Amino acid sequence: MAGGFLMEIRRGTQSALLVIRASAEDPGTPVEVSVSADSLEVRSSGSCAPAALPAGVRLAPSSCRGLRRLPGDGLHLRMRLRRPPPPADLAFTLRESLKPHKKYVFYCQSCGDIIVKDRKFLRVLPLPSENWNDLVEEWCCHPNPFARSTLHPQHDDCFLGDTFFMLNSGNESHVPESLMCCSETGHHASQSGFNLKSKENTRVICKRCKKMLGETISSDTIKYYVTEVIIQPSEGSFSPIPRSQFVQSMVAQCLLELSSAKSTFRFTVKGDNGKTYILIWLLNSDTLLVESLGSSSSLSVLTLFGDIFMPSSGPVGTWNAVKVLYQPCIKCRNKDLADAWENDMGVHPLKFPSETCLELLLMLGLSTASLPPSLRCMNSFQVLKKAKPKPKPYRRNCCMDVTKNE
């Protein structure tokens, strides 16, 4: 199968879109495709390349329809499934993985250095959304009673936000030598006593790799971003996860949790500097991708997530994925649309380190580039019916990996 194939399966509708990639050497070569319940076979130029489908994926060959050939893509074919594929094995969320009365070790995701060692929490509590205080006036008929209140964790508390978790730093199990805290002005602060100004933004940086891990909220409170720290039980050992895979998985989990809990599907990705980097619209979360690499000459075209494409077994790889539309907002791109989303109560903000936002934008671009050209945008898609001015009539299309990190 010189060109390979890409199959996008929807669990909810039990349908599949099959794209037989065109051969790079001779895109006009006649192709014969045979579809059975558990395999595909492509014949071209006297060669025959069968490919077995993953366990649990069973096609209904008699339902094949909509066969067409698109320049630059190859053959497109739609079909039904005989039964739903196995449910997605998603990554554990923080609310599921962090339990009270158990000891955990926090590692820097980038270099594996220990950030917090053998920490036991008596309480693990979820925080309200970041803009909850802005809505108090709608709830109360009197002045905001929480205007001067702050939600800071006490000793042995862990507070969970949408994209971060907060710890009380005044604990003997904290490992100060693995962290370096410095403000944007370059001044250093000691772990024993942060002498911080009330409005000063202090970045928590890994001392080994200099990667930003979070921010100091007060003299005894540190906020760590979920994309920068790996949490594991104390009895376990550190298992490195490729950076791209980890960031995609954590961001995808944030999208899934918020869309389920708040019924919101539009998000702005913001950096710690307050700038908006990406606008994201979640399309669906029940996608299963099946891809064959084909020949080595097509490897660079078929690689789904850049350098992390590692099929679990044989030449066919599978991923559980969420499908999103997105627009970049760097260098003042899509500024009017970003401003419209900023003022829309139906859009939820997600905050990450600025460097991570740029990494995520690169990952989205690589994912989009890996798709067939006809699937990279949606020409008739309109983001906001009441947005003024109207958004551009296209949106980039990509899939994000949500495979369980092991």
Q: Residue 106: what pLDDT?
A: 93
Residues in the chain: 406
CA distance 205 to 108: 10
Q: Tokens representing 27?
A: 């895109």
- Domain stops at, among 213, 240, 267: 240
Would residue 353 count as lying in a domain? no
> Are residue 120 and residue 56 in the same domain, yes or no?
no
Q: Residue 63: what pLDDT?
A: 95
> Are residue 18 and residue 116 in the same domain, yes or no?
no
> Are residue 48 and residue 28 in the same domain, yes or no?
yes
Which residue, 3, 7, 1, 41, is CA-closest to 287? 7
Assign residue 385 a region (left: φ > 0; alpha: ψ between -120 and 50; beta: otherwise). Answer: alpha
Whichever domain contains 16, its CATH number is 2.60.40.790
Q: Residue 394: what pLDDT?
A: 42
> Are residue 128 and residue 159 in the same domain, yes or no?
yes
Q: Residue 58: what pLDDT?
A: 93
Would residue 315 count as lying in a domain? no
> Are residue 105 and residue 236 in the same domain, yes or no?
yes
* Phi, psi dihedrals of residue 161, rounded to the nearest 5°: -105, -170
Q: Tokens representing 333?
A: 């791109």
Q: What is the pLDDT along the chain (406 residues), one digit of tens a residue?
A: 455 889 999 999 999 999 988 765 556 677 788 899 998 888 877 677 788 888 889 999 999 999 898 888 888 999 999 988 888 765 556 667 788 999 999 999 999 999 999 999 999 998 877 666 666 667 777 777 766 667 789 989 999 999 999 999 865 333 443 455 543 333 333 333 334 443 345 899 999 999 999 999 888 899 999 999 999 999 888 888 899 989 998 999 999 999 988 888 999 999 999 999 999 999 988 899 888 865 433 333 333 333 333 444 457 788 888 999 999 999 988 899 999 999 998 999 999 999 999 999 999 998 888 888 888 887 533 332 233 334 443 455 666 665 444 4
> Are residue 139 and residue 4 in the same domain, yes or no?
no
Domains in the chain: how many in total? Answer: 2
> Are residue 35 and residue 101 in the same domain, yes or no?
no
CA distance 357 to 305: 16
> Are residue 135 and residue 225 in the same domain, yes or no?
yes
> Cα–Cα–Cα angle for 230, 231, 237, nearest 5°?
90
> Cα–Cα–Cα angle for 7, 8, 12, nearest 5°?
140
Whichever domain contains 104, its CATH number is 2.170.150
Q: Residue 167: what pLDDT?
A: 93
Helix ranges (H only) for 313-396 are 335-342, 354-370
Residue 56 CA to chain centroid, in angstroms?
Answer: 25
For residue 273, how many other CB atoms are within 10 A of its CB? 11
Q: Is the peptide bond before 30 cis (omega within 30 degrees of 0)?
A: no
Its sign, for the CA torsion 249, 59, 67, 72, is positive
- Domain stops at, among 192, 208, 240: 240
> Are residue 126 and residue 223 in the same domain, yes or no?
yes
Structural domain boundaries, residue 65: 1-87
- Domain stops at, among 87, 120, 144: 87
CA distance 327 to 394: 9
> Are residue 100 and residue 64 in the same domain, yes or no?
no
Identify whether the C-beta of residue 318 lies closer than 8 Å to the C-beta of residue 324.
no
